Structure 1
């Protein structure tokens, strides 16, 4: 089932990992609520949204309670995480998955929310949406692109992902820091064309569920991966090797832009990709607008996608209506 939003729908904000204090607190993020409200949606919050502990999170019971409430509430049509973090995987064995299966919703978030994307797809067989979280909507610069691309995914079954004109690798949640815009260009490692089912997320998180019932089995996958701040090229190489061992029937690889602090150059990335012969046989594109730089698009996970890279200036990623989990 592929659900879509319409104007007037309720979006519930929950913090299954880091708390809202991690990104400035409730009041500082109200501009995000205003922006979503102005798009025609109704934003509500989990009962425990204000909780914050020594780990910039809250108790497992509080986070699970808000997760259950969001899926159980018939008025809620979409669920959006506040931000990422490090510990949403703590919730998986405590969630009543019958609630999720019986109450399908659109689920939005990125980074550590990858664990929940995996589990919702694996256990409840629902398409999820890898893209901006609630606090992302408080960013002023480049918000027009991010909002446009989020709406494209939230409202449509089929659409093309589009590149932004510029990007930054600044801490978007700190409005007092200067921005350093860079020219944006999607790039090709291996030319080609392929169709498959989208899967992936944050590469440091994606394989945490491997070997458990919370990891989605995806045949003929188009794998989307991106690395968070603090990752290294060598770490990326190690984790990519694991992904390619899991997905030995991979049809295409789509890599998000690397934060500048990670020091991943084109030369280093090519050296990493050169290690894996399969990546010479399938389309591989990189520096796309998703992950831990700004702005980002929203990509459904579990949906049919076509990747086409006929030359370095003709890269197209299309979401198709003949989706399936």
Structure 2
């Protein structure tokens, strides 16, 4: 199920299902969306603080439900990640989302929302830079900005080495629905009703601020749960600030090779997808094709 595309004059709703939002950063991001011809409205709790959360669970889920049911709102942008999306997974009205399928956009901690919504409704959602954490950043670049165009018309995406150098960890070709996102969040879904389904899928992996031993631990957990072997292919995105916290340490490259290079599916690394600039935005749930021979990832449109 693909959401309907945006058009100039549409309204987007910005809510925060996880960490609290810096209102100044959010204000700096708003003109970016207005320049695309969009109107912006905010969730009722956008200025709320509840410890490390943007308001209470009930407040945050009410914001999401309001934006979903409001027929004047054509897309939902999550303001930032942080932590807290998983606390809402069993409170979301998935039938409501099925009745009002619309664009849902974010990443990082939002991986939990992407996974739950896709697996409970079949809706394609979008892994892309968020208003308060990325669009407002001084490093926000033209390519990251252009990726929002895929919301206005069905567009097949092509990722090649024109974007960034790519490294083959395991050769081959594969196609399947693109799933995944933040590794630490994916690991936290295991054993729950929102357990990531990787069977026959192209699995995207990315993270930020995790030392190599932590990435090792999380990839090992996914391996032992059968999630890596089940995948049709693996796309290794950006692992920002993956610095050892003590020495000696394995490098990030060694950890990735240990867990991914012997898999019976194509694996390619170096994709600028994640906590990075440029940030290549992708529709999760859309069908994609990965070729290590051509060093290309092709993804079908995420909107209709």
Q: 1:103 aligns with which of 100, 108, 115?
A: 100
**Following superposition of structure 1 onto structure 2, how do residues 273-312 of structure 1 map, counting pairs within 5 Å?**
273-276=256-259, 279-310=262-293
Matched, 1:148 2:146: yes
Measured on the aligned residues, the alpha-carbon RMSD in Å equals 2.4
Q: Provide the C-alpha distance between the structure 1 equivalents of 2:162 and 2:206, rounded to a whole number of angstroms.
A: 17
Instruction: Give deviations 1:219-273, integer Å, cap 9, x for gaps.
Output: 31100011121x1112212212232313432111111122235359xx8344324
For 1:176, the equivalent position in structure 2 comes to none
Contact 1:197 1:219 in 2 (8 A): no
For 2:11, the equivalent position in structure 1 comes to 10
Q: 1:37 aligns with which of 14, 34, 37?
A: 34
What secondary structure does 1:94 align onto? coil
What secondary structure does 1:53 align onto? coil
Q: Provide the C-alpha distance between the structure 1 equivalents of 2:16 and 2:59, rounded to a whole number of angstroms.
A: 9
- Residues 1:154 and 1:315: Cα distance change in structure 2 (over 3 Å): farther
Matched, 1:224 2:204: yes
Deviation, structure 1 residue 74: 0.8
Q: Provide the C-alpha distance between the structure 2 equivalents of 1:210 and 1:140, rounded to a whole number of angstroms.
A: 36
**Following superposition of structure 1 onto structure 2, how do residues 118-157 of structure 1 map, counting pairs within 5 Å?**
118-135=115-132, 136-152=134-150, 155-157=153-155
Q: Provide the C-alpha distance between the structure 1 equivalents of 2:129 and 2:232, rounded to a whole number of angstroms.
A: 26
Deviation, structure 1 residue 18: 0.7
Q: 2:227 aligns with which of 246, 261, 267?
A: 246
Gaps of 5+ in 1: 166-183
Contact 1:223 1:250 in 2 (8 A): yes
For 1:160, the equivalent position in structure 2 comes to 158
- Residues 1:276 and 1:61: Cα distance change in structure 2 (over 3 Å): closer
Q: How many residues align?
A: 295
Structure 1 stretch 84-93 or stretch 2-11: which is displaced more?
Answer: 2-11
Contact 1:158 1:320 in 2 (8 A): yes
For 1:90, the equivalent position in structure 2 comes to 87
- Residues 1:275 and 1:193: Cα distance change in structure 2 (over 3 Å): same
Deviation, structure 1 residue 110: 0.7
Q: Provide the C-alpha distance between the structure 1 equivalents of 2:203 and 2:285, rounded to a whole number of angstroms.
A: 10
Deviation, structure 1 residue 56: 4.6
Q: Provide the C-alpha distance between the structure 2 equivalents of 1:201 and 1:145, rounded to a whole number of angstroms.
A: 20
Contact 2:177 2:287 in 1 (8 A): yes
Please, what TM-score do these two structures have when normalized by structure 2?
Answer: 0.88
Matched, 1:259 2:257: no
Please, what TM-score do these two structures have when normalized by structure 1?
Answer: 0.83
Instruction: Give deviations 1:263-296, integer Å, cap 9, x for gaps.
Output: 59xx834432443477453221112111122221
